[in-house]
């Protein structure tokens, strides 16, 4: 009885703690104000910029992350742990530090910057830099989820595919990928969420230029300096956006696994 009460109390406290800031945002802004703010060019620009860059970043993360996840899940090699640690590093690295690193790597005087300048690409303080910063911080979330999903596909299935005449490529697209799909989509959703909320690396590496590099989180921060109600409206918008998309993913046909484990497929 006592245990049950303690459990309920702990759960209730945590839920209140998580919900209170969200509720506070919503009580501070009326739907009319929200709609009005949406009409402002700065807000609209920030919104589209955020949606565009985070979508592009997610696409890049999946495109380049999937092969890495495949290798990590299916191959044994000596440097595997080093590679895994390197891939996971951005999770613990403060985003501002990541931004400084990106600046030193891809800036005009940076290690790779010289090469980029030579082919006519200038990264810092451009929209592309926003995408680069988001890819940097979002990659680990995709890799770890996709690797776990691919590794969870039991060997008997890939063995069966191979003896049925499937080349590794055919087996990957017809067996491994579909069976690991829930985990892969979950990873993509997490990366997208991370990219959408990205602040520190973006402001350090890409700057805070309205219309070019000022994404929603940066716009919130900027608005907070002189106009609290604008910051609130933007925040509410972000909450609605994230919540809708995460909820949509969870209720999609393959969805139960998003954010959780792909236990349904792994079990068999």
Binding site for another protein (CB under 8 A): 154, 156-157, 159-167, 170, 174-175, 178-179, 265, 268
Is the Cβ of residue 207 or residue 255 nearer to another protein in the bound state? 255
Nearest distance in Å: CB 147, another protein: 19
**What is the smallest separation between the CB atom of 153 and another protein, expressed in angstroms?**
10
The answer for residues whose C-beta is within 8 angstroms of residue 254's C-beta and 6 or more apart is 181, 182, 185
Q: What is the DSSP string of 46-81?
A: HHHHHHHHHHHHHHHHHHHHHHHHHHHHH---TTHH
Q: In whole angstroms, how close is the CB of 176 to another protein at the nearest point?
A: 10
Q: How far is the CB of 178 from another protein (least distance, A)?
A: 5
Closest CA to 50 of 196, 183, 235: 196
Pairwise CA distance, residues 188 & 139, whole Å: 9
Whichever of 178 and 210 has its CB closer to another protein, that residue is 178
Shortest Å, Cβ 261 to another protein: 15
Q: Which residues of 18-29 are buried (b: 16+ CB within 10 A; e: fewer)?
A: eeeeeeebeeeb
The residue (of 172 and 192) whose beta carbon lies closer to another protein is 172
Nearer to another protein, 166 or 246 (CB): 166
CB 265 within 8 A of CB 74: no
Which residue number, 41 or 253, has a Cβ lying nearer to another protein? Answer: 253
């Amino acid at each position: 009885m006592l245990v049950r009460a303690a459990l309920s109390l702990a759960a209730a406290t945590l839920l209140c703690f998580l919900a209170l800031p969200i509720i506070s945002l919503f009580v501070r802004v009326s739907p009319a104000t929200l709609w009005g703010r949406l009409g402002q060019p700065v807000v609209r620009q920030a919104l589209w910029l955020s949606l565009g860059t985070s979508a592009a970043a997610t696409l890049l993360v999946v495109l380049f992350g999937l092969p890495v996840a495949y290798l990590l899940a299916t191959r044994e090699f000596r440097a595997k742990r080093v590679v895994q640690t390197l891939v996971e590093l951005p999770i613990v690295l403060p985003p501002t530090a990541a931004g400084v690193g990106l600046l030193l790597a891809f800036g005009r005087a940076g290690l790779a910057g010289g090469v980029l300048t030579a082919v006519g690409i200038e990264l810092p303080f451009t929209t592309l830099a926003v995408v680069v910063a988001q890819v940097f911080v979002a990659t680990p979330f995709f890799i770890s989820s996709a690797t776990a999903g691919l590794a969870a596909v039991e060997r008997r299935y890939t063995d069966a595919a191979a003896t049925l005449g499937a080349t590794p490529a055919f087996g990957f697209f017809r067996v491994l990928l579909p069976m690991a799909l829930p985990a892969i989509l979950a990873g993509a959703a997490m990366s997208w969420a991370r990219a959408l909320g990205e602040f520190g690396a973006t402001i350090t590496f890409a700057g805070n230029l309205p219309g070019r590099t000022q994404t929603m989180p940066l716009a919130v921060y900027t608005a907070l300096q002189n106009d609290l109600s604008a910051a609130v409206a933007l925040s509410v918008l972000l909450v609605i956006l994230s919540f809708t998309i995460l909820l949509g993913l969870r209720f999609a046909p393959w969805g139960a696994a998003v954010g959780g484990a792909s236990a349904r497929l792994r079990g068999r």
